[in-house]
Structure 1
Amino acid sequence: MKYGLGLPISDPVLLLDWATRAEAAGFSTLGLLDRLAYDNPEPMIALSVLAGATSRIKLQTEVLIAPLREPSLLAKQAATLDRMSGGRFVLGLGVGGRADDHVASGTELRTRGRRMDEQLDTMRRLWSGAAHSADCGPIGPAPLRPEGPELLFGGFQPAALDRVGRWGGGFLAAAAPSWAGGLFDTVRRSWKDHGRNGEPRIVAQINVALGSPALVEEARASMGDYYQFTGRADNMVAGIRTTPEEIRTASMQFEELGADEIIFYCYGSDPDQVDRLADVSA
């Protein structure tokens, strides 16, 4: 089993310390959330900085809200980061659902799913080296692979889960082990229905806060604020694992369900959590 870290978003300056510690501790991936109308670092820029500070660890958007962005520019940004990181970039994508993000970007909330599918088609064509249109040629740089960087898709609805098979990516599961199994099965079925070889890569997420009571309360407050728009923030905050035993139990449950990687998502800012979580996953 591989273990990664989801980075806290409260203070961008701390992320360099988190990244170098995580690489030294042997973690597989650094993940970063996305919002537009929120006090968080822009993930493509932040991960580019972290790519320059590391040499081995993967860099993953978790997830990037694609419909907020213009697809040609996003394709160029992703290919650039893919090339300059030596293939360490993983483009995790989702449709989002926060109305204020769409107000800030000038995009339509209700058409976000269709827009994302159109974006994926455009990006895949541009990554392959095809011309943008009859009036515009190719857009480089070329990614390391013609199909572009590795893709992960987050989401819960059938259309979101089916993108894994349609576009040949993996699944990022922001769900508790108690109901993630059904999502995994749906994703695997989509993979087979679309004639894909092998199996989709499945990445599970566990929300954690490991440290002092003050750190745990900071993490709960940060997560609650981030998910306030859902109306279910209290339930989500209640699911944060705060002891080594709870984290190990959830990890074992995901492993039994067939997850390939687990991301420990941290909302508390203390970078000493890196070493504590490394001990838990050892």
Structure 2
Amino acid sequence: MTMPVMEPQLDATTLRSWAHVIDGGPFSSLCWGERIAFDNPDSLTLLGALAAWTDRVRLVTTVVVPQLHDPVMLAKGLATGDLLSGGRLTVGIGVGGRHEDYHAVGADPASQTRRGMAERVAVMKRVWAGEKVTESVLPVGPSPVQTGGPPLQIGSIGPKTIRDAAAWADGVAGTTLDLDLTRQAELFDVARTAWAEAGKPKPHLATSFWFALGKPEEARAQVHRHLRRYMNWIPAEYVDAMAPMTGWAGTEEQLIEVLGKFEDIGTDEVHLIPTSSDIDQLRRVAEVAKVFA
């Protein structure tokens, strides 16, 4: 389950309440995304809070963009989150889709590449391995609880990016806009093949999609409102055109059916993305998740 970090007018009480319900089960992971030129919480600050607010659930960044950070400081922040959570952190990594976020932090948009991402991951792995990245007296710490650092997942829907990531990632944390199962199965096959060719264990395969529970018209309108706000870098008329086919809206019974289809193609996890901060939506999805626990 993804936190409602892209919803308006959030406060600490709402975020803490969501974290407690998610941690109460039966969800396997608690996720949150990163944006800069938006009013969502800072990812690493939120990681510290979530580590304190939860005890059981795995914490997953979906995704953090390393090119928007100094890689040594990012490695230190994530290692601290792994320490505070007792080794419950998984780090989703991606190149990001918005130049405005790069400009906001003074990052070079030319680094918005697979190579730029991999170079920063390599630095982070060195930090987590306890190597000195400068001539300092001591290496950059703290040491992560998980040996070698948190597991890494590539956040992408591009086959080339997924193939490249087999060199450093432990799995895939992708997304599907239109819930195309055939396309998703093909990407999972790309990952399985790439990991096998790299001589690595089979990858953890996750995907995500927006959701809204309720009567069809009301639920679809909720998704539409969310997309209008979240996709603010895209002209509104384009968002309006794609909204009827983007994400999922319907009843609990229909969601169980959809999740079952993703399970059938070998999906290890679906990271559901809320389109409202209404905690009733979360509690209703928790009942759905019990079917797959």
Give the TM-score, by structure 2 length.
Answer: 0.88
5 Å-filtered alignment, 1:17-28, equals: 17-28=17-28
Partner of 1:188: 192
Partner of 2:203: 200
C-alpha separation in 1, matches of 2:152 and 2:244: 28
Task: Tell me, yes or no, if the aligned pair for 2:82 and 2:146 is still in contact at 8 Å.
Answer: no
5 Å-filtered alignment, 1:37-116, equals: 37-113=37-113, 114-116=115-117
Greater relative CO, 1 or 2 (CA 8 Å, sep 6+): 1
**Residue in structure 2 matching 1:251, options 222, 246, 259:** 259
C-alpha separation in 2, matches of 1:178 and 1:230: 27
* Compared CA separation, residues 144 and 163, structure 1 to 2 (3 A): farther
Report the CA distance between 1:18 and its aligned residue.
0.6
**Aligned residues: percent identity?**
30
Partner of 2:230: 226
**Residue in structure 2 matching 1:217, options 193, 214, 221:** 221
C-alpha separation in 2, matches of 1:165 and 1:254: 22
- More moved, 106-115 vs 88-97: 106-115
Task: Tell me, yes or no, if the aligned pair for 1:151 and 1:170 is still in contact at 8 Å.
Answer: yes
Task: Tell me, yes or no, if the aligned pair for 1:206 and 1:250 is still in contact at 8 Å.
Answer: no
Partner of 1:16: 16
Partner of 1:165: 166
Partner of 1:242: 249
What do you get for the CA RMSD once the two structures are aligned?
A: 2.0
Report the CA distance between 1:137 and its aligned residue.
4.4
**3-state DSSP class of the match of 2:233?**
helix
C-alpha separation in 1, matches of 2:15 and 2:73: 25
Q: Which runs of 5+ in 2 are unaligned?
A: none
- Cα offsets for 1:79-130 (capped at 9, x unmatched): 0100110111111110002111111011122222222111111010110011
* Compared CA separation, residues 279 and 145, structure 1 to 2 (3 A): closer
* Compared CA separation, residues 88 and 182, structure 1 to 2 (3 A): same
- Cα offsets for 1:8-43 (capped at 9, x unmatched): 122143111111011223211111111000111112
Q: Which runs of 5+ in 1 are unaligned?
A: none
C-alpha separation in 2, matches of 1:164 and 1:233: 30
Q: For this pair of structures, how many residues does the alignment match?
A: 277
Report the CA distance between 1:204 and its aligned residue.
1.9
Task: Tell me, yes or no, if the aligned pair for 1:191 and 1:199 is still in contact at 8 Å.
Answer: yes
